[in-house]
Amino acid sequence: MLLFVCLCLFSIINAQDQRSAVYNEAEARELLNLAAAAYAENPLPCLNRTLPSGAKWSIFKWTNNTDCDLFGDTCGFYSIVDETNNLITVVFRGTKTTEQLLTEGLDSSEPKVNFYNIGLNYDVTFTGHSLGAALASLAALRTVLENLRNGNQIKMVNFGQPRVGNVDLAMKHDQLLPYSFRVVHSMDIVPHIPACAKNHSVEQDDSSPCNPDNKKKSYHHGVEIWYPNTMNPGDQYIECLGQPTDEDFSCSDKNTFSLNSYQSYIADHRHYFEVEVPSFGETGCNLNDPEGDYVEQGIFG
């Protein structure tokens, strides 16, 4: 069993609004804008509206609409170098994970790359929405495994991330990347696929918790931040530190899903912090047009 710093000192989170100083909603809102920008043909309008005007930042790499499979699906990423805050931010968008894209994204944290004479003192933040979030989580883990940065230099804040890997990968991720949050909006269905193995000895409202003893099925890593209702400023959110670890059954894992409500689950997936993420990015993160030219599409955008 892989070593893991246990979070069991925390009691199981109940329905009350329980928060700590660790998760930073202001930071998450800024990163959501950056994740939305990855859907745009040009991320600069979003970045200009989001990043502090006094900061000295630039786009270091930008790859958009990279072919990811034989079916014409595309993915992309961009990275920002912030010389004011000694920070690199790597943002992924994608429908399929490819070795090429991960490698290119990781180049943004390679010490051998000439970041205008920037060195290893720069921290790295990874983010993304939907399957872009899955890419970001894998890139963050690989950055540590390849000794490009230590885990304390990395933050990961993702939105609507599907499960990536099994419980062994999850525990290794938690061990190596202590600042790792998965933001989940209400009934977003994507964080619940692929399905985990269920512990059917426990049942509540036709739902059962994930079984961390099963190593064959998918299992989440990182701390879930669940917004059970809406995501306006000041709305309730829960840091899900209960059991099972990373799959807290008092948070979104307790939800049950019905085929009849499929469209509402997709709407929750595409809407974070009260904006329609892909369209919001395409409008340049214009808060006067949070829905953009929203047209109902597939589950991953």
Active site residues: 130, 188, 269
Q: Contact 218/195 with Cβ under 8 angstroms?
A: yes
Interacting residues of 258 by C-beta distance below 8 A, sequence separation 6+: none
**CA gyration radius, the chain:** 18
Residue 274, Ramachandran bin (φ over 0: left; ψ between -120 and 50: alpha; else beta): left
Cα separation, 121 vs 237, in Å, equals: 33
Burial 20-56 (b: 16+ CB within 10 A, else e): eeebebeebbbbbbbbbbbbbeebebbbeebbeeeee
Q: 266 is written with which tokens?
A: 């997709």
How, if at all, do strands 87-94 and 275-276 pair?
unpaired
Q: Alpha helices of 42-176 — where are they, by DSSP H?
A: 44-50, 99-106, 131-145, 167-176
